[in-house]
């Protein structure tokens, strides 16, 4: 009787053993895919400031250091968040703990490692799959990592920072607020406004209640914040003789570098400010209507106490960034040495390639205006309405600007 019972139970016993082995093989493959996805995400996120090519190279190398069923892990990387890419760019929403794909806001990456029969990595090996016609097991694992900037990394440096209504501020390399205010008016993010940054450092405790709900990234109060690296740099020398007003007309008007004691007031046309320093006194630079300021290799230097940037209508400033060797290399706009304010209204915008250095200036954005630059120093940065601001370069870093790091969040 025992022999009969054993013979009857043996197939079931062997089936349980087989299922346990198969489950173990699939579990191991899943762990291998997850480990590979973690490595790819960390490698990619740490290199985000260096651009797509550097990210792709390091992510590919990190993948190949892991094993897939058919050899080293391989991934497909396509810029622009293509649907077939195994590496997506975006940001990590701390409030919902979710990854949000966004090709314009690259502070995090999502890596996917796929093991499948139709993938170069192959499918996990399954014992007796042909006998029982189980086919292949396909699986994938994802990981999300965010860029963790070096100590003191800062893309936007301001004494006070305000965002309200539907305004968005994206400061890729970190935000530092220097006012050590105890009464909550150093940083305020209200309404549907959103501050997306890897890290926010505030010199004091002054974050208005509820502001944390509108901040993506780590927040540190009573923190050590960096100094303005341009604070002690000598301002550009203003020439003794003035240039003639460029006037107005159709097409593109070339503006000669030099001293404009009354500033420039532009209402129509396109004005090319390239290859030199444009010293603007008087009103500074007032661009309204459909006027557009463009430039390559130009530096806008606001000279007088009342010289300011005023943009309205669809007026715009684009492209300019000083390329001559020296202290102001890579800077687009230098604000006046006296306190005043800049205003961007309606659908006007600034979209410059370099830094905006204006430590004595209050910058106000309203309407649907836009302010995009490599980085910015301001006394007050105030964004309201449906405005957007993007700052992409961590121009303040210590001790090592190349010391990219990342942390896993999912």
pLDDT of the chain, 410 residues: tens digit per residue: 777 765 766 666 556 655 555 556 667 778 888 899 999 999 999 888 778 888 999 999 999 999 888 889 999 999 888 888 999 998 888 778 899 998 877 889 999 999 888 888 888 766 555 444 455 677 889 999 988 776 678 999 999 999 999 999 999 888 999 998 777 789 999 999 999 988 899 999 889 999 989 998 888 889 889 899 999 999 999 999 999 998 877 789 999 999 999 999 999 999 999 999 999 999 999 999 999 999 999 999 999 999 999 999 999 999 889 999 899 999 999 999 999 999 999 999 999 999 999 999 999 999 999 999 999 999 999 999 999 999 988 888 765 544 567 888 88
Sign of CA dihedral 177, 182, 186, 187: positive
Q: Which residues does 256 contact at the CB level (< 8 Å), separation at least 6?
A: 243, 246, 276
Report yes or no: 188 and 409 within 8 Å, Cβ to Cβ. Answer: no
How many Cα atoms occupy the beta-carbon half-sphere of 120 within 13 Å? 9
The sign one gets for the Cα dihedral 356, 370, 392, 176 is positive
| Overall pTM > 0.95 | no
Kindly calculate the radius of gyration of the chain based on its CA atoms and give it in whole angstroms. 28
Distance separating alpha carbons of residues 169 and 94, to the nearest angstrom: 16
DSSP letters for 336-403: -SS-EEEEE-TT-EEE-SSEEEEEEEEEEE-TT-EEEESEEEEEEEEE-TT-EEEE----B--S-TT-
d(C-alpha 172, C-alpha 45), whole Å = 12
Per DSSP, what are the bridge partners of residue 199? 218
Q: Are 13 and 124 in contact (CB under 8 A)?
A: no
Residues with Cβ within 8 Å of residue 53, at least 6 apart in sequence: none
* Whether 360 contacts 379, CB under 8 Å: yes
The owner of tokens 């960034």 is: 321
């Amino acid at each position: 009787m025992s022999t009969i019972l054993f013979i009857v139970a043996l197939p079931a016993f062997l089936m349980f053993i087989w299922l346990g082995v198969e489950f173990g093989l699939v579990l191991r493959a899943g762990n291998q895919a997850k480990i590979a996805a973690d490595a790819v995400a960390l490698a990619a996120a740490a290199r985000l400031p260096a651009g797509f090519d550097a990210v792709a190279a390091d992510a590919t190398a990190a993948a190949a250091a892991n094993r897939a069923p058919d050899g080293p892990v391989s991934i497909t990387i396509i810029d622009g968040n293509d649907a077939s890419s195994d590496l997506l760019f975006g940001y990590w929403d701390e409030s919902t703990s979710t990854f949000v794909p966004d090709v314009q806001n690259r502070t995090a990456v999502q890596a996917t490692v796929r093991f499948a029969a139709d993938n170069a990595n192959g499918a996990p090996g399954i014992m007796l799959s042909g006998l029982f016609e189980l086919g292949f097991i396909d699986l994938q694992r994802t990981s999300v990592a965010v860029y963790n900037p070096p100590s003191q990394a800062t893309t936007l440096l301001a004494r006070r920072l305000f965002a309200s209504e539907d305004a968005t501020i994206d400061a890729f390399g970190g935000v530092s607020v220097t006012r050590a205010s105890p009464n909550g008016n150093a940083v305020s993010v209200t309404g549907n406004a959103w501050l997306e940054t890897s890290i926010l450092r505030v010199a004091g405790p002054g974050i208005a209640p509820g502001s944390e709900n509108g901040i993506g990234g780590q927040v540190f109060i009573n923190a050590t914040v960096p100094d303005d690296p341009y604070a002690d740099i000598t301002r550009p020398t203003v020439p003794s003789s003035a240039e003639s007003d460029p006037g107005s007309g159709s097409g593109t008007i070339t503006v000669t570098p030099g001293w404009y004691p009354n500033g420039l007031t532009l209402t129509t046309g396109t004005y090319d400010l390239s290859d030199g320093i444009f010293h603007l006194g008087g009103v500074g630079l007032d661009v309204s209507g459909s006027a557009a300021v463009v430039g390559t290799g130009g530096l806008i230097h606001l000279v007088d106490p009342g010289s300011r940037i005023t943009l309205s209508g669809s007026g715009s400033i684009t492209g300019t960034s000083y390329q001559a060797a020296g202290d102001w290399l890579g800077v687009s706009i230098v604000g006046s040495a006296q306190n005043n304010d800049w205003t961007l209204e309606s659908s006007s915008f600034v979209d410059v390639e370099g830094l905006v250095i204006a430590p004595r200036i209050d910058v106000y954005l309203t309407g649907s205006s836009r302010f995009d630059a490599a980085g910015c120093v301001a006394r007050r940065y105030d964004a309201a309405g449906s405005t957007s601001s993007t700052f992409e370069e961590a121009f303040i870093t210590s001790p090592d600007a190349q010391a990219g790091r990342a942390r896993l969040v999912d």
